[in-house]
């Protein structure tokens, strides 16, 4: 389907960052428009971390995963 381009440390970082960003809004730390933006970024980070594929990396032909 798509080629994994994130190393495992990168994926863990993405998942952790995604959860933290989601927590900032859903946990009530940040509110309003900024919260929605954090939610969107959080969901994107979480998703890329879980599947190991980052579309931005592909766009710039970059990969943290050793081939």
Partner 1 sequence: MKENNFFERVKQNPRPVVVDFWAPWCGPCRAIGPVMEKLGADYTNRVDVWKVNADEQPDLLRSLGIYGIPTLIAFHKGQEIARRTGAASQAALSTLFEAALSGDKPVHSGPAMMDHLLRFVAGAALFILAFQGRFSGMYLFLAGLGAVVAFSAVYDRCPIYRAISARLKAWLRKDQPDQSRS
Of the pair 23, 57, the CB lying nearest partner 1 is at 23
Of the pair 47, 57, the CB lying nearest partner 1 is at 47
Of the pair 49, 59, the CB lying nearest partner 1 is at 49
Report, in Å, the least distance between residue 45 CB and partner 1: 11
- Distance separating alpha carbons of residues 18 and 3, to the nearest angstrom: 21
- Distance separating alpha carbons of residues 45 and 20, to the nearest angstrom: 10
Kindly give the residue spans of alpha helices, DSSP state H, lying in 1-67: 8-26, 33-51, 55-59
Task: Point out which residues bind partner 1 (CB under 8 A).
Answer: 8, 11-12, 15, 18-19, 22-23, 26-27, 46, 49-50, 52
């Amino acid at each position: 389907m798509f080629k994994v381009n994130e190393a495992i440390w990168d994926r863990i970082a993405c998942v952790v960052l995604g959860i933290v960003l989601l927590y900032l809004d859903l946990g009530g730390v940040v509110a309003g428009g900024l919260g929605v933006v954090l939610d969107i970024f959080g969901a994107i980070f979480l998703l890329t971390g879980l599947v190991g594929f980052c579309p931005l990396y592909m766009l710039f032909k970059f990969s943290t995963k050793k081939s």
